[in-house]
């Protein structure tokens, strides 16, 4: 097992902090004391001149507690309790931050910088919002403006309209996407689990914490259990996939015990808490990072062995001649998955032809495209400048 490597001594000017439902809420609703402690820590970070984007779960838990219901099993029921709970969640955060610079919990490390209570802004997102490049950029511009105005953005998945086709999966994934979106220096996940363990500590009392992960790969993924907590939606696998997305953008991630007072401040001060996932070399940036992290591609193309090798190893463009099958309905310029003939993900790219057009020209030589279609947009089905190799973790079954 790798030893914990201390956080690099850099200022971490911009942080994305995600708080899970199991940290904030229980059957009785929002835990105000815990929320106040987190708000005080964020206030201290902002007083040091850092920028913070907060990704907060808890809308459904707050709604369930308010209505006195069991967790709904139907999608409309989940959407309804989220609609009730979202304003309650924001109200609770507003109250917590109104006191963050004044009445710090006595358990916080001393001295702690104090800052005026921040203005907060609510942002609700779906996967569809980030699947379109211009909407992705609009979200970035809004967040950058709020940070420039010294306003604290609080982001949640828009549970009131989510369906399987547009949901991120959970806020772990959303927080990783937001970290890449705003160019964060550090992603922090506050969880009800203290760290990554080599097996599930809820069923194995001999499980050992893993203090440091240099790279998230398929072997690391096998340490994750699939069972989420009772009030949240994500498990450890979701957190590992979030770490892998962050690593692709060169962003380190800290998984910390969210129920521990001042865990963020202690970790940033050098205390070895939780699990640190190294940032490492940035793999992608800009449009290729967006493609790599894209929540919901619009369709799939299956390519032959030669094209698969050229895409994986040669940095080549995808030509129609290498395409064997086209799945789904998509238009020119939309993102699709590229799969090999065994069903393994190769990567994601922006297509120069619609699904209907690709179905007609698949397997065809470049010189024959115009004869088949009556026109030609491009020699390439997907140009290499608009293609990003995918994550090997997406090839690992549950």
pLDDT in tens, 185-209: 999 999 988 899 887 777 788 888 8
User: What's the whole-number mean pLDDT along residues 76-96?
Assistant: 90
Domain that holds residue 319: 297-395
Provide the CATH number for the domain around residue 230.
3.40.1160.10
User: What's the whole-number mean pLDDT along residues 11-35?
Assistant: 86
pLDDT in tens, 44-70: 899 888 999 999 988 888 888 888 888
- 324 burial level (CB within 10 Å; 0-12, 13-18, 19+): middle
Instruction: Based on the fold, state whether residues 266 and 373 are members of the same structural domain.
Output: no
Instruction: Based on the fold, state whether residues 202 and 78 are members of the same structural domain.
Output: yes
Where a domain ends, among 269, 287, 305?
287
Q: Considering only 1-5, 107-111, 129-133, 355-359, which range has the smallest mean pLDDT?
A: 107-111
Give percent of the chain with pLDDT exceeding 90. 38
At 393 the pLDDT is: 46
Q: Is residue 261 in some structural domain?
A: yes
Q: Is residue 85 in some structural domain?
A: yes
The span from the CA of 102 to the CA of 90, in Å, is 19
Write down the pTM of the prediction: 0.78
The span from the CA of 207 to the CA of 113, in Å, is 37
At 101 the pLDDT is: 57
Q: Is residue 235 in some structural domain?
A: yes
- Provide the domain count of the chain: 2
**Is the dihedral angle over the CA atoms 371, 373, 378, 382 positive or is it negative?**
negative
pLDDT at 96 over 60: yes
CA-angle at 208, arms to 2 and 214, nearest 5°:
25
pLDDT at 234 over 60: no
User: What's the whole-number mean pLDDT along residues 97-110?
Assistant: 61
Q: Please, which residues have CB within 8 angstroms of residue 164's CB and are 6 or more apart in sequence?
A: none
Provide the CATH number for the domain around residue 385.
2.30.130.10
Instruction: Based on the fold, state whether residues 179 and 273 are members of the same structural domain.
Output: yes
């Amino acid at each position: 097992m790798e030893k914990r490597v201390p956080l690099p001594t850099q200022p971490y000017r911009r942080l994305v902090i995600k708080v899970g439902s199991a940290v904030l809420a229980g059957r009785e609703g929002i835990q105000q004391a815990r929320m106040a402690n987190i708000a005080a820590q964020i206030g201290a970070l902002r007083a040091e001149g850092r920028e913070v984007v907060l990704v907060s779960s808890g809308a459904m838990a707050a709604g369930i507690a308010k209505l006195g219901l069991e967790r709904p099993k139907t999608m409309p029921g989940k959407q309804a309790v989220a609609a009730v709970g979202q304003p309650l969640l924001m109200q609770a955060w507003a109250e917590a931050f109104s006191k963050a610079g004044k009445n710090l919990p006595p358990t916080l490390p001393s001295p702690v910088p104090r800052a005026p209570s921040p203005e907060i802004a609510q942002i609700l997102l779906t996967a569809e919002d980030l699947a379109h490049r211009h909407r992705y950029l609009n979200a970035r511009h809004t967040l950058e403006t709020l940070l420039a105005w010294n306003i604290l953005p609080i982001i949640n998945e828009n549970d009131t309209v989510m369906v399987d086709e547009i949901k991120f999966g959970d806020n772990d994934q959303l927080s990783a996407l937001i970290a890449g979106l705003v160019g964060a220096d550090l992603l922090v996940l506050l969880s009800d689990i203290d760290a990554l363990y080599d097996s599930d500590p809820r069923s194995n009392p001999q499980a050992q914490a893993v203090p440091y992960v240099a790279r998230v790969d398929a072997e690391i993924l096998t340490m994750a259990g699939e069972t989420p907590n009772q009030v949240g939606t994500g498990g450890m696998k979701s957190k590992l996939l979030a770490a892998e997305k962050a690593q692709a953008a060169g962003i380190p991630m800290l998984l910390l015990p969210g129920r521990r007072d001042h865990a963020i401040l202690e970790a940033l001060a050098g205390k070895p808490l939780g699990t640190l996932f190294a940032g490492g070399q940035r793999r992608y940036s800009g449009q290729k990072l967006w493609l790599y992290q894209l929540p919901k591609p619009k369709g799939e193309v299956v390519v032959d062995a030669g094209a698969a090798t050229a895409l994986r190893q040669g940095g080549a463009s995808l030509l129609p001649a290498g395409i064997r099958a086209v799945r789904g309905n998509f238009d020119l310029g939309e993102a699709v998955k590229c799969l090999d003939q065994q069903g393994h993900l190769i990567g994601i790219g922006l297509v120069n032809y619609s699904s209907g057009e690709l179905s007609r020209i698949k397997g065809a030589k470049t010189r024959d495209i115009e004869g088949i279609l009556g026109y030609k947009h491009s020699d390439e089905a997907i140009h290499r400048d608009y293609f990003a190799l995918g994550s090997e973790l997406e090839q690992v079954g549950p």
